[in-house]
Structure 1
Amino acid sequence: MNLSESTWTDIRDADTDLAVLPVGSTEQHGPHAPLGVDYMTAEAIAEAGVEQYAADFDGEAVVGPTIPVGIAEEHRDFDGTLWVSEDTFRAYVRETMESLAYHGFDRVVVVNGHGGNVDALRECCGRISRDGDAYAVSYTWFDAVATEELGHGGPAETSFMRHLRPELVHEERTEEAAEGAAEQWGEWLNGTNLAYDSAEFTESGVVGDPRNGSEELGEELLAEAAGALSELLDAVATRAV
């Protein structure tokens, strides 16, 4: 069930206390991929994961509206990137979850598509769980799938978009993206990342080679991420809290 597409009476009559909240970012992903990669992937995984949960466990969950702007100031040098502070982000996500809990959806899985959100979401979900308003956990899809080529705007994310929204991938620009790409995220010395902003170590904004991967890989990543989310939803739904 999609909350935004439902009526208030549909939500009132929903036979579940479980909600899924997609969270992403609007930030550069190189010259070839759209700014909305992170929130588009989070939204797609949330919807597919809830469908899989219904098929695997006969369970029901409500998918809330996607939060499209996150903690992404590290990409500020690339046009179109939007960001909010960590305090603003935590408050917005927490208050959104409190709204869900007010209506009886007091078990929440946040589906995250952006690495910069990870720490804040862990803290936010921990705080709302400890304070007793709801039980919440955050699920970051790329931590749950078997891929070693995530990068940033690299093979995995570009493949995901090739499957999800191929018309938004500028294949003719992938060579430009690869030529200006970094091999790893950051500028590391003795376990310390010396760089705060991505423009310090990647000219195109990309980490990894987006020419690798395929639409088929994107389809596999979506299926794997949705399956993992389905298992997590069952664990959260049945957990004693």
Structure 2
Amino acid sequence: MNFADLTSPAIAALGSDGRVPVLLLPLGAVEPHGPHAPVGTDPLISAGMCVRAADRLRDDPAVRVLILPALPYGVTRYAAAFPGGISVGEETLHALVTDVCASLIGQGLPRIVLVNNHFEPEHVATLRRAVETVRCRHEVEIGHLELTRRRAAARLTEEFRSGSCHAGQYETSLVLADEPDLVDVETMRELPNLPVDMPSSMAAGQRDFVAMGMTDAYCGSPAEATAEEGEAVFETLTGMLVETIRETAAR
């Protein structure tokens, strides 16, 4: 399922069996996720989605899904008051995404899907701009599953839709489903529910977690997280990604 595990001749032969190659690019950011969850939460979720989607379509007669090496660094400044964040600038991220896509398109592999789980507005805007840049430069419409769009968010949990979900029940449940040993469960269970309407706070001009009242770099209710919820959410996320893969393959 991993692009990087293939030999060069195997990559050259992609598509020769009649299946359309679709390449998934996992994205995220390394940033603090409360006192209980790993700083790599976002790319971990993206990778989990990609693995599940590729496995679900492993024997599909129409598409061949491969997972590209992840780009784990993103635009992340809101958690700068806490140790562990590694941010790159908007132009760096834009260049990385567009250059990776250009390289693949040049090899005859234009069907690429961006899979992102870091939702800081500047990061999301940069990915949207990268999609547009690829379209303008190469006349290629790459796939981009945007979970913050209303249509997608409506299929996710109440906490996600509320916007109070950074390292809360939603994200922590997903980490528990895939990498439970990375969650400090004892600390997680002691964290009080902290409702924060992050989209409204951002719209009001707040640009860091502390200003939003997130003094421990989380909001929502991580104490309510379970691996079972995480698996259920992954099932929904995987379904949406499979839909995006099929749409991309059909272009």
Do the aligned residues in 1 keep the contact of 2:22 with 2:63 (CA within 8 Å)?
no
Structure 1 CA distance, aligned partners of 2:175 and 2:137? 38
- Of 157, 173, 182, which aligns to 1:168? 182
Whether the aligned pair in 2 keeps the contact of 1:176 and 1:204 (CA below 8 Å) is no
What is the match of residue 238 of structure 1?
250
The 8 Å contact of residues 190 and 223 in structure 2, kept in 1 or not, is answered as no
What is the CA–CA distance in structure 2 between the aligned matches of 1:55 and 1:193, rounded to whole Å?
48
Gaps of 5+ in 2: none
Given the two structures, how large is their TM-score scaled by the length of structure 1?
0.90
Q: SS where residue 198 of structure 1 aligns? A: coil
| Partner Cα separation in structure 1 for residue 148 and residue 172 of structure 2 | 13
- Sequence identity (%): 27
Give the Cα separation in 1 of the matches to 2:169 and 2:59: 30
Give how far 1:78 is off.
1.0
- Number of residue-to-residue matches in the alignment: 236
What is aligned with 1:112? Answer: 116
State yes or no: 1:159 paired with 2:173. Answer: yes
Are the equivalent residues in 2 in contact too, given 1:153–1:210 (CA < 8 A)?
Answer: yes
TM-superposition CA deviations, 1:21-73 (whole Å, max 9, x none): 11111001100000000001101101211222345664212211110110101
Q: Partners of 1:3 and 1:102 in 2: how far apart?
A: 16
Structure 1 stretch 82-91 or stretch 128-137: which is displaced more? 128-137
Q: Is the 8 A contact 2:78 2:208 kept in 1?
A: yes
Cα distance in 1 between the residues matched to 2:190 and 2:198: 18
- Alignment partner of 1:71 is 2:83: no
Q: Is the 8 A contact 1:111 1:141 kept in 2?
A: no
Matches within 5 A, 1:37-186: 37-54=41-58, 58-116=62-120, 117-132=123-138, 134-141=140-147, 144=152, 145-150=155-160, 151-178=165-192, 181-185=194-198
Match of 2:209 in 1: 198
Report the 3-state secondary structure (helix = DSSP H, G, I; strand = E; otherwise coil) of the residue aligned with 1:135: coil
1:194 Cα deviation (Å)? 2.7
Residue 34, structure 1, aligned to residue 35, structure 2: no
What CA distance in whole angstroms lies between the structure 2 residues aligned with 1:177 and 1:99?
45
226 and 187 in structure 1: CA distance in 2 versus 1, 3 angstrom threshold: closer
- Going from structure 1 to structure 2, the CA distance change for 1:101 and 1:133 (only over 3 Å counts) comes to farther
Shift in alpha-carbon separation, 1:57–1:183, aligned structure 2, 3 A = farther
SS for the counterpart of 1:115 is coil
Shift of 1:114: 0.5
What is the CA distance between 1:119 and its match in structure 2?
A: 1.4
Let me know the Cα RMSD of the aligned residues. 2.0
Contact preservation (8 Å) 1:21, 1:66: yes
Letter in 1 for 2:2: N
Q: CA contact under 8 A between 1:30 and 1:177: conserved in structure 2? A: no
- With structure 2 as the length reference, what TM-score do the two structures score? 0.87
Change (3 A) 1:187 1:132: closer
Distance 2:124 2:190 in 1: 29
Q: Does 67-76 or 138-147 show the bigger shift?
A: 138-147
Structure 1 unpaired stretches of 5+: none
- Report what 2:221 is aligned to: 209
Other structure's SS at 1:19 match: strand
Q: What amino acid does structure 2 have at the position aligned with 1:2?
A: N
What is the aligned partner in structure 1 of residue 6 from structure 2?
Answer: 6
Give the Cα–Cα distance (whole angstroms) in 1 for the partners of residues 144 and 118 of structure 2. Answer: 12
Give the SS at the match of 1:77.
coil
Whichever residue aligns with residue 169 of structure 2, its letter is: P
Task: Quote the Cα distance in structure 2 between the aligned partners of 1:113 and 1:97.
Answer: 19
Greater alpha carbon shift after TM alignment, 51-60 vs 73-82? 51-60
Look up the equivalent residue of 1:12 and give its one-letter code: A
